[in-house]
Every structure is written in structure tokens, then in C-alpha cells.
């Protein structure tokens, strides 16, 4: 699967979260192709309630990376300083998560996928907690198209949602209007390692025929 327009059933099982990215530049035209795949997703009444903030400015990426690391520490107790981490955490999935956290500002792009809040997006005088959620039913299909398109072009990507811890600050710093929520942040770049297949339970094991509990398929 080396060409830049792979076949769907070869692609779909090979979209692993890639958390180790090279700092090498990525042509913005590739990101435009990725986002144009994203916006092909369906949405109720074709409202297309998504928007993108594409961050490549080093200072702004550093601003985000610092707050991301602080959020990881405050929420999960993951030490910001690599010297404070047990050696065994250098490997495996936690190792990849630490790597992503330490190198977030070096990713060529941080992509915020925003979603318009459901109407009415705010009750008058409500606190932020009273804001309606973004339209996940449209934004997440768009996000999945983005992940597939990144992989198709040989770009690494992974979903992160830790920005929710500092979403007020994020809105202010990037001037994002209140009627949009930031749904996911996706660091994008060329992968340091290899792509590879994902590990999933077969659909058959969670398919119920005609009623829940009937997982044995009836004869046709």
C-alpha cells in the first residue's frame, strides 16, 4: 500500500494511531487534500457544521504543547519531566504517549477539528458548562475521513482530546468563537516508525441477529 490513492479495504484496517512523528515539513497541499476528504462526510440537512484551525506557527504550537503536558500531568499524574518517569515507561503505548506529549510542538501541524454547537448553543447567561455540545454526529465522520486520508497519503495522525481540560484558554488564544467547540486535536506529520494493522475483535462477535443476544446467525 505505497501509492497515494490506496484501495479502501486495504486502507481501512491499517490506520493505527501514529504518535511518533518526524519534524520534517509537510506540504500544505497534502493537508488540504486531507481536509477535503474530511468534508465529504455526511451531516444532517448537509449543514457541514465543521471548521478547522490548522496550526503550524512554532510559538502557537509551543503554547498548545505546554498546556497539553500540564493537562496530562494534572489529570493522569504523568510527569512532564522525562527524568521523573520510570524507565519502563519509555516503551510500549505509554512510551508513545509520552513521546507525543514531549514532541507535540515539533509536529509540522496541529489540527483542531471544530464543530458547530447544536442550536440553541447557549442559554442566556449560562456558564460554559451550559453550552450545547458540538454536533458529534457530523464531526466524527469528518474526523474519520481525515484519519483515512492521512494514512492514504503516508501521513501519521492520532486523535487527542486532552485540550478539553483547557478549552476556555484555547478558545481565547486561537480566537475560536463560542458557538464552535473543539472536538479533537490531531497532530499530523510523517511517521517516525512504520504503519501497521490495528488489532480489533471481529465484528461477528458483536453482531446480534434480529434481536440482542442472538449472535449466532440464522440460516438464510
Site for its own copies in 61-120 (CB under 8 A): none
Residue number with CB closer to its own copies (2 or 81) = 2
The closest of 208, 35, 50 to 135, measured between CA atoms, is 50
Applying CB under 8 A, which of residues 90, 123, 126, 198 lies at the interface with its own copies?
198
Give yes or no for residue 126 binding its own copies (CB under 8 A).
no
Interface segment toward its own copies; rule CB under 8 A; list 36-44, 65-73, 78-86, 97-105? 36-44
Does residue number 162 form part of the binding site for its own copies (CB under 8 A)?
A: no
Which of residues 37 and 104 has its CB atom nearest to its own copies in the complex?
37
Single out the residue of 81, 92, 119, 200 in contact with its own copies (rule: CB under 8 A).
Answer: 200
C-alpha cell at 32: 488540504
Of 107 and 147, CB closest to its own copies? 147
How far apart are alpha carbons 12 and 9 in whole angstroms? 5
Report CA Rg, the chain: 19
CA distances from 9 to 1, 5, 199 (A): 11, 12, 15
Amino acid at each position: 500500500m505505497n501509492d497515494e490513492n490506496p484501495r479502501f479495504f486495504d486502507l481501512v484496517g491499517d490506520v493505527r494511531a501514529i504518535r511518533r512523528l518526524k519534524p520534517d515539513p509537510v506540504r500544505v497541499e497534502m493537508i488540504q487534500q486531507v481536509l477535503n476528504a474530511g468534508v465529504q462526510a455526511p451531516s444532517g440537512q448537509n449543514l457541514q457544521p465543521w471548521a478547522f484551525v490548522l496550526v503550524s506557527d512554532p510559538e502557537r504550537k509551543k503554547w498548545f504543547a505546554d498546556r497539553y503536558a500540564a493537562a496530562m500531568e494534572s489529570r493522569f499524574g504523568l510527569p512532564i519531566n522525562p527524568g521523573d518517569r520510570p524507565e519502563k515507561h519509555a516503551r510500549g503505548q505509554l512510551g508513545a504517549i509520552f513521546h507525543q506529549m514531549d514532541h507535540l510542538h515539533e509536529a509540522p501541524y496541529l489540527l483542531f477539528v471544530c464543530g458547530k454547537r447544536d442550536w440553541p448553543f447557549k442559554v442566556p447567561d449560562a456558564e460554559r458548562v451550559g453550552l450545547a455540545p458540538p454536533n458529534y454526529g457530523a464531526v466524527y465522520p469528518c474526523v474519520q475521513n481525515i484519519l483515512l486520508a492521512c494514512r492514504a497519503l503516508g501521513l501519521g495522525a492520532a486523535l487527542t482530546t486532552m485540550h478539553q481540560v483547557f478549552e476556555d484558554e484555547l478558545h481565547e488564544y486561537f480566537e475560536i468563537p463560542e458557538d464552535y467547540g473543539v472536538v479533537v486535536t490531531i497532530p499530523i506529520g510523517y511517521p517516525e516508525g512504520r504503519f501497521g494493522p490495528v488489532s480489533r475483535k471481529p465484528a461477528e462477535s458483536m453482531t446480534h441477529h434480529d434481536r440482542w443476544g442472538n449472535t449466532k446467525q440464522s440460516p438464510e
